[in-house]
Structure 1
Amino acid sequence: MASYILPSKGAFQKHSSGEAGSPFSQPVQPRRDNFGYDENGWPLFAMPEPEAKAKPLPSTPSSDDDGEGREDFDLNNVQLTAEDYERHHDADKQMRELLAGAVGDGEGAAGTTREEGDDVVKGFAKDIRLMPHQVRGVHWMRERESGRKRGGILADDMGLGKTVQTLARIVEGQPTAAEKRLYKGGTLIICPLAVMEQWATECRTKTENGLLKVTTHHGPKRAKSAKELRNYDVVITTFQVLVSEHKAKTTGKSSPGSDSDSDVPLPIKRSRALAKERAPALFDLKWLRVVIDEAQNIKNRKTQAAEAAYSLTAKFRWCLTGTPIQNNVDELYSLFKFLRAKPLDDWSVFRSRVSVEVTEGRTGIAMKRLHVILKAIMLRRTKNATIDGKPILNLPERNVDVVECEFDSDERAFYTALEAKTSVAVSKFITPGTVLASYQRILTLLLGLRQACDHPSLVVTRMRADEDVLEEETNNIDSDAEADGLADLLAGMGLNGQKKSDAEQKQTVQQSQSYKGLTGLPPSSAKIRMILKLLAEIDERSAKKEKTIVFSQFTRFLDIIERFLVNAGVKYTRYDGTMSAAKREEVLHTIRTSKTIRVILISFKAGSTGLNLTCCNNVILTDLWWNPALEDQAFDRAHRLGQQLDVNIYKLTISATIEDRILTLQTQKRELAEAALSGTGVKNMKLTMSDIMYLFKMG
């Protein structure tokens, strides 16, 4: 539109035939009043206020990076157009503009010419070869650790080998003599507990024997001082330990239970002597390189994990994540803060120059500013991308089948009664002015309906074992953000420790007393019957060779499934957040190597990211996730590099229940995280009150 109405240059300017040197022969200078004109002839009263020109950012090293300097990006020279100042609140356009032209630009700058032998990394085991996209990724990472560049975001799709590319950089980029004098620590890798041992195994098996000294820094026997960690080239730790040692550094006390091997914090009483013994070793070292795997774990700048990550001292910093943005652009701030990407690593600057612009609808301005940094420091390739006209990966097919399970008469009666009672309860929370304060309770009511689709007893007996399903944000919902975290919350919605009233509990138990189960077993359910049927069909068609992952958000449901598997003579193993790191590795080894154990039960929180389970080519999803991007993460445990068979995914659902409506909303919001990165469009990423009312059939 601007190109049609832009006036000829000088059309609005005053002209004079005065002589040279006359005041009227000089160009009219822009003025900020109703009578000024800009250099293109626009009347200034029709234009928005221009950006204030900030002073050039200093190029001298800042005090918190030990004289190594930080990468500065100039946001003041962004070329803005009239269209950028237009106000709109289209989230589709916001995310499309955010990454269009930004993702992967740095790859080309690193050089794309392929030469013979460039897939070989000096120091890697002889049989390890990089794929073409990994070769280019390693070149890009090398370039991002040169000059004043200090790392970046490797945001490749899950399964494209972020680990092996990072390991190649670690091997190639070992410290120089000068660096060793300043940085006594090698490379620190921070990751979820579920993949800690996997990282250690990759470091040991993909490199030449003895090349890297590797240790895992976790549990009660971990190193007590920084001096011990100096002896290793690679130190691998978890977010829990990072938070614990950061607390010890700042307060002198470590977090309760953070030294445990479990993902679930335990109320452990710690003696003063033990607390003193646990010195903040991670923070007493200057690291050459810090790598945060699954970096979406620090997306919330207010969390302890994010604050701890900011406090580490390092020369190079890397974020590995397949989902750098899940809900909104503010999540990028935390990554910028960790990476020291000036000036957007300062919240006041990020807020004023990005967040406020988005809030007020001027997303064009915000996106162009973000592009300045993103196209320099982030690299992302998707599974369907191509190199030289050829697909990056030739993965087997991934077939997703939505399988309808039929309630029996007792299950249907139970669900119908629960739904009616829930609708009455929800109606009490939609009084104007009280909705935000009731979000947590509303989520709990939604949870009950979803649990009833799995098994009635999940509603009757609410076990603490399922409390880990709720994300940390449950305790931090605030009205200012209009529950920004709701998409995440419903993605992992579970128990929040809020007990039902005695009246509610009594009524639910009375409704369930007529429900009859199998002799010697807990009551069956539609989904349990379907799980057993599918497992039998898989065994029959594959001659008992194919293996299956069974996912559930509710550990209590996994407990029930186990009893039916035992009764049916199905051998299985189980992986959940209560297990120690050693036990987890034992379970993974079993499912990968055993010929008789062909089923693994996995709780979503513990095993939805990071795990490599290409030994399984069947996935049964027992309950639906609100955010379909999280489902994709679970599917990618099997559908990833190394899979040789077609992957069959079965999403179990109950018709005429809340799950029908969740499937509909999934379809409407399918692009939640995936499209935000691919630039193909994204719908509203929040769970709106309209969505909630729809889920309760009240919309």
Structure 2
Amino acid sequence: MDIPDKHRDGTPAGLKQSLYHHQELALSWMKKMEEGTNKGGILADDMGLGKTISTLALMLARPAVGRPKTNLIIGPLSLVRQWEEEISKKTKLSHRMSVFVYHNTKAMTDDLLRYDVVLTTVVLDEAQCIKNRKTKTAKACHALKSTYRWCLTGTPMMNGVLELFSLVQFLHIKPYCVWENFRQAFGILCGLKGDAKSVAMSRLRALQGYHAAKKEGLAAEWETHSQSSFERRKHSKSQVLFSKYLREGSIGKNYSNILVLLLRMRQACCHPHLNLDVDDATQFGKEKVDEKMVQPIKRLSKATVERIKAIEAFECPICFDAVQSPSFFIPCGHDGCKDCVTRLVDNLRPPTCKLEMKATRLSAVCRGTFDGKKCFTYEAFRSVHMPETMVKQSEPGVEDSSSDDDSKSESEDDDSDHVDHAKSQANKADKTPKKNKKGKKKPADVKPSMLKSLRLEAIKNREAYKRYMRYLRKTNGEKTIVFSQWTLLLDLLQVAMWHDKFKDKPERYDGSMSGEDRARAARDFRDRDNVKVMLVSLRAGNAGLNLASANNVIIMDPFWNPYIEMQAVDRAYRIGQKLEVKVYRILTEETVEDRIIALQERKKAIVEAALDETESMKIGRLNVNELKFLFNTRD
């Protein structure tokens, strides 16, 4: 879309900074939409191109007259303070709008009407959050009554064209805001019955009446290293077990176990100590069960306790990945990974367990509310309801009687030998009694108290590590974001930086931190010149976070959904970024990481080809063919 200069709106008088060219186009288009019959639309500029400022410019260019004059901004909690800061920093005092942040607060309607902008966590920021039309969040947004409606999202369709319907319904775009009409018009594009494909594609292009822009100047570099003997053993063992499930036709039954095998293969590419099980992690970290968790765990229903005890491997129903150390809700006992649970708790008031809405093992529909501050860990659950799995370190030779022939092999013994020396060094450093827990082997976070010994024993890829540290030290004036899917790897990096002549500690941003701590970390990284590095959990930092002060992005481990990674990278590529953004991906050659990158390209190509194939419907959950490809297994 292009608008001649003479018809293009300039920067509103109340805005401190001048709009960029594409933002002027967005403002002109948004004003045209509001003044016409549409009364809104989808602003789908690429992530980082300043959709917030474009929308703020619209508010200043079209001030409401009379009462009520409230603009309602709905978005994830992580964006709430960012909106507030943008309004404060980017608008002139003479045009400053009053702002009310509404989050878990009971306020009277008359009080709310005195404010120009109400920030809750009608504009939907990160509008893709309502892509599932059946969720309570989506239904609540659809029920809102307003004159103008806007959806802000860099990814209006991530998995399939059906995700667009919820946004269309919110925008009241007739006749497609009715599900039956939408399905008839576009069903052929997603494997459903409907009108001809060519007609449906023409309608889809016509429906895409949003302004879009593309970013430029994003450079990517690849850092690779060769596979170690440890990685080869881990991959070989995982392939054998996956082939066994494949021959038996039990992929679906063992899906969560397969994800754990895949998780181990991916972790082996990063660092051997990521394969420490939950028992080792607890022993090294001297981790104690939080006594505040014990009483609520004791009050869980018998059915909930038995269901949790029966789970052999955990899969997050939100990100579809294996879970290293799951967090459980009280009282329902449903689980998810720490980062996803944190986002769920942040953005729901009251928090409502809705994990069953994803394609998961859960069959019952759970609508119960829970206290987000009272989630419990699997280790705490074991201490209360599975004490027999927790034995003292002084009791040698205890074996896990529940394991079968396939769960213990020579390769597993070899893998454990790789970390035995680090364990012994940690034990020498601490003479206090510790517990050696035996039972189901689950990966878990390792606390900083053990990381020094692990780091000192690390021998893997030392040359690449040295190059990485030298690079971080020499980037004068530049800032770097390091992404990983695993907080343990971030822990290892953090301790290494503390002991490697870094003048200032790196900042952290992950799901284990409170909302206030995450906001403080982002603010310090942005504003403090002496903070050069931020270590970010991939899923915790893949939406809404503004880290434009950084121009270097390092991705330690790839994820098969390309859009999760793209959203994370775009935390640095945002309006205000003056330097070229460089992205470094660190990969292990001829391993599962190579195949993950190839799978990323496949999935991205499907989505960008107008999402017209049935296989594009589930980009998050891996199907059997994709699993066979990742395990490098042939029929």
TM-score (norm: length of structure 2): 0.70
The structural deviation recorded for 1:683 is 8.4
- Structure 1 residues 314, 444: closer, same or farther in 2, change over 3 A? farther
The structural deviation recorded for 1:431 is 5.4
Q: Give the Cα separation in 1 of the matches to 2:262 and 2:167.
A: 32
The structural deviation recorded for 1:154 is 0.4
State which of 580, 588, 593 in structure 2 corresponds to 1:654: 588
The structural deviation recorded for 1:170 is 1.4
Which amino acid letter does the alignment assign opposite residue 99 of structure 2? V
- 2:5 is matched with 114
Deviations 1:91-114 (A, max 9, x none): xxxxxxxxxxxxx4xxx5xxx232
Q: Secondary structure at the match of 1:319?
A: strand
State which of 165, 173, 176 in structure 2 corresponds to 1:341: 173
State which of 455, 479, 493 in structure 2 corresponds to 1:547: 479
Q: What pairs with 1:139-538 in structure 2 (closer than 5 Å)?
A: 139-177=28-66, 180=67, 184=68, 186-209=70-93, 211-219=96-104, 222-238=105-121, 290-356=122-188, 358-359=190-191, 362-375=196-209, 378-383=210-215, 397-406=217-226, 412-413=229-230, 415-430=231-246, 434-459=250-275, 460-461=277-278, 462-464=324-326, 467-468=337-338, 476-477=358-359, 503=403, 508=412, 511-515=415-419, 516-517=421-422, 520-523=452-455, 524=458, 526=460, 530-531=464-465, 533-538=467-472
Given that 2:99 and 2:116 are in contact with CA atoms closer than 8 Å, whether structure 1 keeps it comes out as yes
CA RMSD of aligned residues (A): 3.4
The structural deviation recorded for 1:433 is 6.5
Q: Secondary structure at the match of 2:337?
A: helix
- 1:484 is matched with none
Q: Give the Cα separation in 2 of the matches to 1:342 and 1:144.
A: 15
- 2:370 is matched with none
- 2:552 is matched with 618
Given that 2:73 and 2:123 are in contact with CA atoms closer than 8 Å, whether structure 1 keeps it comes out as yes
- Structure 1 residues 638, 676: closer, same or farther in 2, change over 3 A? farther
- Structure 1 residues 447, 301: closer, same or farther in 2, change over 3 A? farther
Given that 1:138 and 1:169 are in contact with CA atoms closer than 8 Å, whether structure 2 keeps it comes out as yes
Q: Secondary structure at the match of 1:430?
A: helix
Deviations 1:333-353 (A, max 9, x none): 111111111222222222233
- 1:487 is matched with none
Deviations 1:179-205 (A, max 9, x none): x3xxx4611112222222111111111
The structural deviation recorded for 1:153 is 0.2
Q: Give the Cα separation in 2 of the matches to 1:441 and 1:467.
A: 16
Q: Give the Cα separation in 1 of the matches to 2:19 and 2:587.
A: 40
- Structure 1 residues 117, 308: closer, same or farther in 2, change over 3 A? closer
Q: What pairs with 1:632-651 in structure 2 (closer than 5 Å)?
A: 632-651=566-585
Deviations 1:493-539 (A, max 9, x none): xx999999853887657732442448742253647874553132242
Q: Give the Cα separation in 1 of the matches to 2:87 and 2:238.
A: 51
Q: Give the Cα separation in 1 of the matches to 2:78 and 2:618.
A: 28
Q: What are structure 2's unaligned runs of at least 5 residues? A: 279-323, 328-335, 342-353, 362-376, 383-388, 390-399, 427-451
Given that 1:671 and 1:683 are in contact with CA atoms closer than 8 Å, whether structure 2 keeps it comes out as no
Q: Give the Cα separation in 2 of the matches to 1:538 and 1:582.
A: 27
Q: Give the Cα separation in 1 of the matches to 2:178 and 2:483.
A: 40
Q: Give the Cα separation in 1 of the matches to 2:272 and 2:90.
A: 48
- 2:441 is matched with none
Q: Secondary structure at the match of 2:148?
A: strand
The structural deviation recorded for 1:318 is 0.7
- 2:533 is matched with 599
Given that 1:223 and 1:229 are in contact with CA atoms closer than 8 Å, whether structure 2 keeps it comes out as no
- 2:543 is matched with 609
Which amino acid letter does the alignment assign opposite residue 693 of structure 1? K
The structural deviation recorded for 1:573 is 0.9
State which of 119, 122, 135 in structure 1 corresponds to 2:24: 135
Given that 2:479 and 2:549 are in contact with CA atoms closer than 8 Å, whether structure 1 keeps it comes out as yes
Given that 1:573 and 1:591 are in contact with CA atoms closer than 8 Å, whether structure 2 keeps it comes out as yes
Given that 1:521 and 1:564 are in contact with CA atoms closer than 8 Å, whether structure 2 keeps it comes out as no
**Greater shift in the superposed pair: 337-346 or 316-325:** 337-346
Q: What are structure 1's unaligned runs of at least 5 residues? A: 1-103, 239-289, 385-396, 480-494
Q: Give the Cα separation in 2 of the matches to 1:534 and 1:666.
A: 25
Given that 1:444 and 1:496 are in contact with CA atoms closer than 8 Å, whether structure 2 keeps it comes out as no
The structural deviation recorded for 1:419 is 2.4
Given that 1:672 and 1:683 are in contact with CA atoms closer than 8 Å, whether structure 2 keeps it comes out as yes
Which amino acid letter does the alignment assign opposite residue 336 of structure 1? V
Which amino acid letter does the alignment assign opposite residue 263 of structure 2? L
Q: Secondary structure at the match of 1:379?
A: coil
Deviations 1:201-255 (A, max 9, x none): 1111111216200122225xx34333332221111222xxxxxxxxxxxxxxxxx
The structural deviation recorded for 1:639 is 2.7
- Structure 1 residues 232, 374: closer, same or farther in 2, change over 3 A? same
- 2:519 is matched with 585
The structural deviation recorded for 1:358 is 4.2
Given that 1:141 and 1:169 are in contact with CA atoms closer than 8 Å, whether structure 2 keeps it comes out as yes
The structural deviation recorded for 1:292 is 0.9
Q: Give the Cα separation in 2 of the matches to 1:506 and 1:185.
A: 66
The structural deviation recorded for 1:668 is 4.0
Given that 1:553 and 1:623 are in contact with CA atoms closer than 8 Å, whether structure 2 keeps it comes out as yes
Q: Give the Cα separation in 1 of the matches to 2:580 and 2:99.
A: 35
Given that 2:338 and 2:512 are in contact with CA atoms closer than 8 Å, whether structure 1 keeps it comes out as no
Q: Give the Cα separation in 1 of the matches to 2:135 and 2:61.
A: 33
Q: Secondary structure at the match of 1:620?
A: strand
- Structure 1 residues 525, 148: closer, same or farther in 2, change over 3 A? farther
Given that 1:407 and 1:525 are in contact with CA atoms closer than 8 Å, whether structure 2 keeps it comes out as no
Given that 2:485 and 2:539 are in contact with CA atoms closer than 8 Å, whether structure 1 keeps it comes out as yes
Q: Give the Cα separation in 2 of the matches to 1:694 and 1:580.
A: 38
- Structure 1 residues 469, 591: closer, same or farther in 2, change over 3 A? closer
Q: Give the Cα separation in 1 of the matches to 2:215 and 2:490.
A: 31
The structural deviation recorded for 1:592 is 2.1
- Structure 1 residues 416, 503: closer, same or farther in 2, change over 3 A? farther
- Structure 1 residues 675, 169: closer, same or farther in 2, change over 3 A? farther
Q: Give the Cα separation in 2 of the matches to 1:302 and 1:432.
A: 36
Given that 1:469 and 1:554 are in contact with CA atoms closer than 8 Å, whether structure 2 keeps it comes out as no
**Greater shift in the superposed pair: 195-204 or 587-596:** 587-596
Given that 2:11 and 2:57 are in contact with CA atoms closer than 8 Å, whether structure 1 keeps it comes out as no
TM-score (norm: length of structure 1): 0.64
Structure number with bigger Rg: 1
1:692 matches 2:627: yes
Q: Give the Cα separation in 2 of the matches to 1:367 and 1:116.
A: 31
The structural deviation recorded for 1:310 is 1.6
Which amino acid letter does the alignment assign opposite residue 615 of structure 1? S
Q: Give the Cα separation in 1 of the matches to 2:600 and 2:539.
A: 20
- Identity among equivalent pairs (%): 34
Which amino acid letter does the alignment assign opposite residue 59 of structure 2? I
Count of residue pairs the alignment pairs up:
492
Q: Give the Cα separation in 2 of the matches to 1:416 and 1:347.
A: 50
**Greater shift in the superposed pair: 588-597 or 523-532:** 523-532
